């Protein structure tokens, strides 16, 4: 592959829901451009794009795959992204380093939840969008309905470039209203016949052509003036207008293809080569400091590593985008993210598992290298004198969690290393070593997401693992005021142990001061605040510890030990061993011994006095509540609502969004363990959801009783 300059490089994300045919379309594009001699198939497990063993096993894309090809003296860098919402990380990664999105729509189903999800990300990253209606040969293909849904969802910016003459099992022709020609294919597809538009299609074609001309003219003042003067534009002028419309997201062109039969693929690639904006005119990436970086081959070299992959027979492969300058094989760069040096020993142009050595890559281009020593996903590597550092890619919050462990304890250390590597390959797999829950928690985007990881660990790394329902990070707090005292006394020859602590505990509410007088059992306790320690807790909330000791009942040198004892119980609450929060503790009295008192004595006395007072202060469990937003088809709304209500959800609102119903609810985390799977089953895979931590709220009394009994039973089992 020759070296392409920035004005001849196009970076494109290929998006679409599962089943829209992205991988099959890529095979046709590679075949048409001569990269491969024979098209593979998903059933045959021999496609260029889905080449990982797990992708062949399951028959769906797991990773975004770089596909590079040449067409019309242009280099097309295409990132073929997974369709499943479980692998949304690939979409987010790709849109961060590409400039245009090609969004496939299944002609049978039209706009799906996945279509809307992907489109929202193109909005977020402000990327141009081209819609491609695929699988037009299916017996249930309905192009007109698909276009109607596109316009309902995305407005008048949706403009047809093509429409099919005979969608369905007989599909073999489209009318192109930019070229004003009809393209017709033989059964094997490939190169079409280019024909005049039939008389019975001319009125429709002319109307759509006029709409396209008007839309193209809107985006350039000179074109608009010419359009008003002459009433038309030539093809090159329309290209200029369409390119401007694309750049500003003011036009979403629609194409027709049948990737399986290789129909319409050449024309789509021609459009990508001729009209899609080059990397030197698209929006400029920004550094962490906010500096815009121009794709200038003459500038200092800087590359951004956006993906790391461990690939069969090769090992670790680093995929990068050249942000500025020109990168050559053998260049020495500095990893500004980690402070280490790297030599780029080899450069590759990549088409799936096909890698071609190249000598250099210029600004805006995308490539790969191998065997970097100390470089991770998200790192910036610069030539001497360049100080750019680019932002890490921000991924959506996880929606599914499971506790993970190796079946054999001997494999635990190896499993930890494998999980760290997995996170490098897919940053939406998040590994949490939870000290609180005493579990390794694996977070992901859904059941398929975690099932895929399990398959890879067990089949590639030969480690048997198991998933369990993770424990819930409950919190403990109190609802009323109580008092307790505790004497720790131990004598076993020689110096003994003695410490006595008296304390009051009450709920802590921000802005509410402690009382001056408390009354318990008819006795009054006056408080004189000598010192206040306000301790923000790592797990949320606070503990306030007030020293109200008078007359030297306890020496001040023992107060830190009492505080440690209180914190011991805050980290392991008396009810279920969960973290406690939002408690005010007033230490008002105690006793000490001139010989036997020491730090350990007062730590134990403080811990036990606090535990006793806590249990008598109306202790309650708090549970994590999440804000959940569900996007579901209208015909499944009732089932989705019923399911949520069965999960103790509080419905906060409903609205319609682009042909789907949006539900907002607050749901306890305990009820969301299998929600990803249930929602998919309820909606036939057509719904999606997001979840975000909202707050901790009181657990209902019946559920608290059940949890306390379970905890007591587990403690007995441990004994």
Residue with the bigger pLDDT between 508 and 574: it is: 508
Q: Answer whether 26's CB lies under 8 Å from 67's CB.
A: yes
**In CATH terms, are 302-341+351-382 and 479-618 the same topology?**
no
Tell me which of 119-128, 221-230, 523-532, 697-706 is least confident.
221-230
pLDDT number for residue 652: 95
pLDDT number for residue 640: 94
Residue with the bigger pLDDT between 233 and 354: it is: 354
Question: Residues in the chain, how many?
Answer: 719
Question: Rounded to whole angstroms, how far apart are CA atoms 433 and 571?
Answer: 16
Q: What is the pLDDT of residues 87-135, one digit of tens each?
A: 999 999 999 999 999 999 999 999 998 899 999 999 999 999 999 999 9
Tell me which of 55-59, 558-562, 667-671 is least confident.
55-59
According to CATH, what is the number of the domain 479-618? 3.30.230.10
Find the mean pLDDT for residues 37-55.
87
pLDDT(719) > 60? no
Q: Answer whether 612's CB lies under 8 Å from 585's CB.
A: no
Residue with the bigger pLDDT between 121 and 59: it is: 121
pLDDT(158) > 70? yes
548 is written with which tokens?
Answer: 């109200």
Question: Rounded to whole angstroms, how far apart are CA atoms 520 and 497?
Answer: 29
Find the mean pLDDT for residues 530-555.
94
pLDDT number for residue 493: 67
According to CATH, what is the number of the domain 6-274? 3.40.50.300
Residue with the bigger pLDDT between 285 and 57: it is: 285
pLDDT number for residue 310: 87
Find the mean pLDDT for residues 552-581.
93
pLDDT number for residue 259: 94
pLDDT number for residue 360: 96
Q: Which of 375, 300, 387 is nearest to 338 (CA)?
A: 375
Extents of the domains making up the chain:
6-274, 302-341+351-382, 400-471, 479-618, 622-703
Question: Rounded to whole angstroms, how far apart are CA atoms 652 and 508?
Answer: 28
pLDDT number for residue 680: 87
pLDDT number for residue 517: 95
Domain spanning 622-703, CATH class: alpha beta
Find the mean pLDDT for residues 419-425.
93
Question: Domain 400-471: what homologous superfamily?
Answer: Elongation Factor G (Translational Gtpase), domain 3 (3.30.70.870)
Find the mean pLDDT for residues 223-244.
82
pLDDT(711) > 70? yes
pLDDT number for residue 312: 73
Q: Answer whether 133's CB lies under 8 Å from 103's CB.
A: no
Task: For residue 462, count other CB atoms closer than 10 A to its CB.
Answer: 9
Question: Domain 302-341+351-382: what homologous superfamily?
Answer: Translation factors (2.40.30.10)
**What angle, rounded to 10 degrees, do the helices at 447-460 and 412-425 form?**
120
Find the mean pLDDT for residues 693-703.
94
pLDDT number for residue 67: 95
Q: Answer whether 550's CB lies under 8 Å from 528's CB.
A: yes
DSSP string, 453-516: HHHHHHHHS---EEEEPPPP--EEE-SS-EEEEEEEEE-SSSS-EEEEEEEEEEE--TTPPPPS
Give start and end residues of each alpha helix (H) in 5-128.
22-32, 53-58, 88-97, 113-125
């Amino acid at each position: 592959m020759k070296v392409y300059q920035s004005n001849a490089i196009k970076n494109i994300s290929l998006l679409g829901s599962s089943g829209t045919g992205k991988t099959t379309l890529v095979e046709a594009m590679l075949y048409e451009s001569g990269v491969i001699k024979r098209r593979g198939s998903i059933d045959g497990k021999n496609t260029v794009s889905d080449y990982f063993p797990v992708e062949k096993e399951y028959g769906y894309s797991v990773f975004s795959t770089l596909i590079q090809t040449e067409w019309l003296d242009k280099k097309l860098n295409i990132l073929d992204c997974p369709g499943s919402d479980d692998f949304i990380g690939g979409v987010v990664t790709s849109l961060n380093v590409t400039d245009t999105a090609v969004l496939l729509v299944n002609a049978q189903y039209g706009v799906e939840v996945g279509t809307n999800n992907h489109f929202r990300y193109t909005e977020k990253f402000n990327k141009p969008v081209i819609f491609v209606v695929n699988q037009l040969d299916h017996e249930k293909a309905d192009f007109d309905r698909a276009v109607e849904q596109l316009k309902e969802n995305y407005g008048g910016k949706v403009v047809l470039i093509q429409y099919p003459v005979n969608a369905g099992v007989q599909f073999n022709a489209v009318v192109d209203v930019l070229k004003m020609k009809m393209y017709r294919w033989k059964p094997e597809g490939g190169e079409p016949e280019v024909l005049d538009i039939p008389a019975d299609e001319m009125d429709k074609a002319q109307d759509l052509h006029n709409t396209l001309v008007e839309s193209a003219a809107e985006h350039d003042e000179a074109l608009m003036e010419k359009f008003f003067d002459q009433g038309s534009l030539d093809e090159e002028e329309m290209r200029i207008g369409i390119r401007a419309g694309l750049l500003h997201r003011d036009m979403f062109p629609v194409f027709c293809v049948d990737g399986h039969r290789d129909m319409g693929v050449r024309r789509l690639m021609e459009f990508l080569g001729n009209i899609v904006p080059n990397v030197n005119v698209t929006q400029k990436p920004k550094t962490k400091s906010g500096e815009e970086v121009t794709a200038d081959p003459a500038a200092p070299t800087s590359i951004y590593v956006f993906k790391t992959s461990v690939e069969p027979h090769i090992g670790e492969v680093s995929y990068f985008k050249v942000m500025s300058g020109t990168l050559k094989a053998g260049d020495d760069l500095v990893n500004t993210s980690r402070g280490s040096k790297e030599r780029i020993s080899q450069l590759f142009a990549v088409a799936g598992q096909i890698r071609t050595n190249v000598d250099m890559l210029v600004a805006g281009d995308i490539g790969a290298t191998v065997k970097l020593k100390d470089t991770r996903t998200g790192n910036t590597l610069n030539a001497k004198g360049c100080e750019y550092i680019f932002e890490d890619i921000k991924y959506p919050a996880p929606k599914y969690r499971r506790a993970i462990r190796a079946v054999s304890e001997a494999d635990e250390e190896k499993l930890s290393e494998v999980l760290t590597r997995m996170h490098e390959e897919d940053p939406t797999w998040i590994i949490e070593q939870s000290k609180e829950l005493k579990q390794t928690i694996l977070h992901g985007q859904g059941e398929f997401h975690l099932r895929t990881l399990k398959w890879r660990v067990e089949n590639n790394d030969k480690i048997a693992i198991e998933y369990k329902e993770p424990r819930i990070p409950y919190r403990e707090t109190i609802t009323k005021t109580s008092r307790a005292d505790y004497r720790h006394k131990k004598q076993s020859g020689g110096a003994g142990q003695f410490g006595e602590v008296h304390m009051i505990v009450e709920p802590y509410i921000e802005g509410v001061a402690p009382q001056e007088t408390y009354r318990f059992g008819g006795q009054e306790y006056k408080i004189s605040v000598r010192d206040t320690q306000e301790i923000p807790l790592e797990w949320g909330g606070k503990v306030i510890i007030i020293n109200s000791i008078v007359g030297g009942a306890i020496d001040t040198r023992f107060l830190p030990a009492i505080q440690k004892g209180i914190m011991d119980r805050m980290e392991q609450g008396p009810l279920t061993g969960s973290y406690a929060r939002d408690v005010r503790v007033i230490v008002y009295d105690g006793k000490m011994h001139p010989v036997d008192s020491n730090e350990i004595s007062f730590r134990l006395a403080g811990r036990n006095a606090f535990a006793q007072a806590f249990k008598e202060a109306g202790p309650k469990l708090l549970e994590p509540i999440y804000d959940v937003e569900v996007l579901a088809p209208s015909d499944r709304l009732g089932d989705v609502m019923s399911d949520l209500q069965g999960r103790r959800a509080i419905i906060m609102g409903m609205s319609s969004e682009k042909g789907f119903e949006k539900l907002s609810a607050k749901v306890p985390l305990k009820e969301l363990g299998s929600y990803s799977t249930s929602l998919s089953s309820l909606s036939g895979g057509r719904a999606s959801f997001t979840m975000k931590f909202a707050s901790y709220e009181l657990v209902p009394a019946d559920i608290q009783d059940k949890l306390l009994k379970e905890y007591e039973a587990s403690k007995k089992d441990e004994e």
